[in-house]
Amino acid sequence: MSMQEDHTGGSTEKLVAEAKEALRYRHPSRIQKVGDHMRREWQLYLLLAPTIIWLLVFLYTPMYGLQIAFKDYSIFRGVANSPWIGLEHFHTLFGSDQFIRALKNTIYISLLSLAFGFPVPILLALMFNEVLNQTFKKTAQTIVYLPHFISSVIIAGIVITAFSPSAGIVNTILEWFGVDPIYFLTKAEWFRPIFVGTTIWQEAGFQSIVYLAAIAGVSPTLYESAVVDGASRWQMMWKITVPSIMPTIIIMLIIRIGNMLEVSFEMIILLYQPATYSTADVVNTFIYRQGLQGGQYDLAAAAGLFNAVVAFVLVMTANTVSKRYSRTSLW
């Protein structure tokens, strides 16, 4: 609002201003309103603009580019001018053994990670909660969080070194028991245990933070009255702590299911090789090989679109379930 310099006295000035306001807002159209607002608050939009423009340029333009999943894409014609071919790429994908295998592997690896990876951080948090020596607890936490911050290249490097047939520690130990060296990373049957184990090793500590926070929120009076009743620590853990953090556990489970297809494929790219494709190749590594390495952009984009749509549906379903079940939703 512009304040006008006026010397005719306070009350008149006020009246004039009010009248102006009243006139202006008698029948303000939506456009006028927005225009006025923009003039007053332009600074806010200037602050917002870079982020929105960035999103449009780097994330929403590729969504427009997704149409090549339905086109016979050629680099020279570009996204918009390549001819439409309907669902042909999807027919090709679902007729391809490689894609079906990648899909199965994705689901299988996700389920394995869920079954083994989900409980570990919860158990870890419960165990940390029972440690009374604060120095021990702090030190242990500092160490188990660390692998989360180490890059996948380094983690893969450690895995490759540790499992190497000639110098690796794993084979050295097996040798003590008279087992012949195994070249683990070339054996298809070993890929999944190694991969799932590695991701649990890397992330379980860090993921326990959420549960530790939930445990910290449990009312101490519950424990105090349990102590009075003579409960053991074991009983308190299962009868007080676990039920109290159940909502957090359920939410984390739902998030986890929602992100099922997000197998950490960067790690897979680093660890797999043609000999282990049969168990290791997931949808994202398939896209990487077909699209970025093989140049079949349109087919790979179709596989990506399929993946993204399924993921989107999973997240949305997870959220709805969460809303109904725990009255807590992600958004």
Partner 1 sequence: MAKMNLYSRGDKAFVILNMVLIGMFTISALYPFIYIASLSMSSGFEARAGNVLLTPVGFTLEAYSRVLSEPMFWISYKNTFIYTIGGTLMSLAFIIPGAYALSRPQLYGRRFWNLMVAFTMWFHAGMIPFFLNMRDLNLLDSYFGIIIGFAVSGFNIILLRNFFEGIPQSFEEAARMDGANEFQVLWKVYMPLSKPAIATVALFCIVSRWNGFFWAMILLQDEGKIPLQVYLRHVIMELSDDEEFASTLINAAYSFETVSAAIIVCSIIPILLIYPFLQKYFNKGILLGGVKE
Least Å distance between CB 13 and partner 1?
20
Q: Does 106 bind partner 1 (CB under 8 A)?
A: no
Least Å distance between CB 32 and partner 1?
13
Q: Which amino acid is at 329?
A: S
Q: Which of 2, 8, 11, 51 binds partner 1 (CB under 8 A)?
A: 51
Q: Does 233 bind partner 1 (CB under 8 A)?
A: yes
CA-based diameter of the chain, in Å? 104
Q: Please give the Cα distance from 218 to 241 (Å, whole number).
A: 7
Please identify which residue in the block is written with the tokens 């090549």: 68
| Cα–Cα distance list, 271 to 155, 284, 289, 303 (Å) | 10, 14, 14, 22
Closest CB to partner 1 among residues 15, 21: 21
Binding residue count for partner 1, defined by CB under 8 A: 102
Cα 179 off chain centre by: 40
Q: What are the structure tokens assigned to 207, written together?
A: 């993921």
Interface mask (CB under 8 A) for partner 1, residues 25-44, using x and -? Answer: ---------x--xx--x-xx
Closest CB to partner 1 among residues 9, 149: 149
Q: Does 58 bind partner 1 (CB under 8 A)?
A: yes
Q: What are the structure tokens assigned to 132, written together?
A: 């009374």
Cα 198 off chain centre by: 18
Q: Which of 109, 122, 125, 156 binds partner 1 (CB under 8 A)?
A: 156
Q: Which of 15, 25, 54, 325 binds partner 1 (CB under 8 A)?
A: 54
Q: Does 117 bind partner 1 (CB under 8 A)?
A: no
Residues 65-84 that bind partner 1 (CB under 8 A): 65-66, 68, 78-79
Q: What are the structure tokens assigned to 74, written together?
A: 């050629």
Query: Residue 22 region, left (φ>0) first, then alpha (ψ -120 to 50), else beta?
Result: alpha
Quote the DSSP letter at residue 268.
H
Which residue in 59, 113, 85, 43 sits closest to 263, CA to CA? 113
Least Å distance between CB 100 and partner 1?
19
Closest CB to partner 1 among residues 12, 32: 32
Q: Does 275 bind partner 1 (CB under 8 A)?
A: no
Residues 178-217 that bind partner 1 (CB under 8 A): 201, 205, 209-210, 213, 215-216
- Using the Cα atoms of residue 230, residue 226, residue 205 and residue 115 in order, give the sign of their dihedral: positive
Least Å distance between CB 15 and partner 1?
25
Q: Does 6 bind partner 1 (CB under 8 A)?
A: no
Q: What are the structure tokens assigned to 310, written together?
A: 């399924």
Closest CB to partner 1 among residues 109, 249: 249
Q: Does 144 bind partner 1 (CB under 8 A)?
A: yes
| Length reported for the chain | 331
Least Å distance between CB 12 and partner 1?
25
Q: At what angle do helices 188-216 and 134-145 cross, to 10 degrees?
A: 140
Q: Does 160 bind partner 1 (CB under 8 A)?
A: yes
Q: Does 250 bind partner 1 (CB under 8 A)?
A: no
